[in-house]
Amino acid sequence: MAELMAEKKQARTAMTTGDMVVWIPGFVDLQVNGYRGVDFSSQSLTEASFATACHGLFAAGTFAFLPTVITSSMATYRHVLPLIARAMRRPEFQGRVLGIHLEGPFISKERGAVGCHNPEHAQLPSIEMLETLCSLAENNIKVLTMAAELDGAEKVIAKASSSGIVVALGHQLAGADMIAKAEAAGAVLLTHLGNGIPNMLHRHHNPLMAGIASNLGASIITDGYHLPPSTIKVILRAKKGQPVIVVSDAAPVAGLAPGKHECFGKTVIVEHGDRGGRVLDAGGENLAGSGATMLQCINYLTSLGVVSPDDVLQLAYSTPLALLGLNSSDLAAPVPGKDPVLNYSTSRGYWLQPPGE
């Protein structure tokens, strides 16, 4: 806690509203599914393609992140988890790739709640399965997203939490009582609050209202498509005093040209967009992750006029690190001439100065 307070104090004193180089090296993103055609949950993933995606993210202003593996078959887990764990040992990724976010497989199979995950691979919480996945990942799982209402959830939450994993609730239909029980068991966060739920809900008794009213922190996707401004404002106001972070939830097709692409084992459509196009399933009805980077998400959030530069430093740097038990000293040092420099301007927002300039 003392380290977090020191981070916050530094953030408050390091930034003004004028044009300047920002004191942080880039943003910290705890939910990235892939980038520029590289899918972190695909059996086609290689260490080379993983490295290419990482360097692409670094060049786009994401200084450190958690590669996210969604609900998958056992064969996919056996392939991607050890691969990512091996890649993390490379010197270039130490202090940059901070672990793995396991989003599933303990999520709801119900339409709307399951999102773009394959319901065939969703399963009930199991300590044995959790231990298997942790072993495959060489104990590099740092965040686990799961549904609170499933049988066995509290036991798995307690096990994961006691193992140092940040447990987040998401892709669920849980009400207030179930969320409270999950919190008591050790859950601390709500994954992409306001998303991963059905479009049609009871006006009062629903996972969104229960999550907002809970004592849990929250991650939010501020790409301009996942949440309307009013919902972003409500969450930020309701969650004051609790950890709130921005995540990109970047889909593997983020950074690709508009059009049809294969993603998450299905066809998706990337639309035109100034801040990264909206990513939809082939039916054009449901979102399939985000087409935005953290830089684009933060600039959209800033454009709403609801956060200060100091708030941004907490939402996209200090608080994500603190949730993982880290601070800025745990990150790698930026490499002059290789890493872009993050700048801020009241007229331009956040922008990157290319390496060497």
Question: Active-site positions?
Answer: 249
Cis status, amide bond into 91, omega within 30 of 0: no
CB 110 within 8 A of CB 76: no
- Cα separation, 299 vs 243, whole angstroms: 20
Task: Describe the crossing of helices 176-185 and 153-162 by its angle, rounded to 10 degrees.
Answer: 30
Name which of 234, 252, 326, 333 is nearest 288 in CA terms.
252
- Cα separation, 51 vs 33, whole angstroms: 14
- Cα separation, 143 vs 323, whole angstroms: 9
- Cα separation, 11 vs 7, whole angstroms: 6
CB 87 within 8 A of CB 47: yes
- Cα separation, 21 vs 259, whole angstroms: 36
Count of C-beta atoms within a 10 Å radius of residue 135:
12
Grouping H, G, I as helix, E, B as strand and the rest as coil, residue 344 is: strand
Cβ neighbours of residue 241 closer than 8 Å, sequence gap 6 or more = none
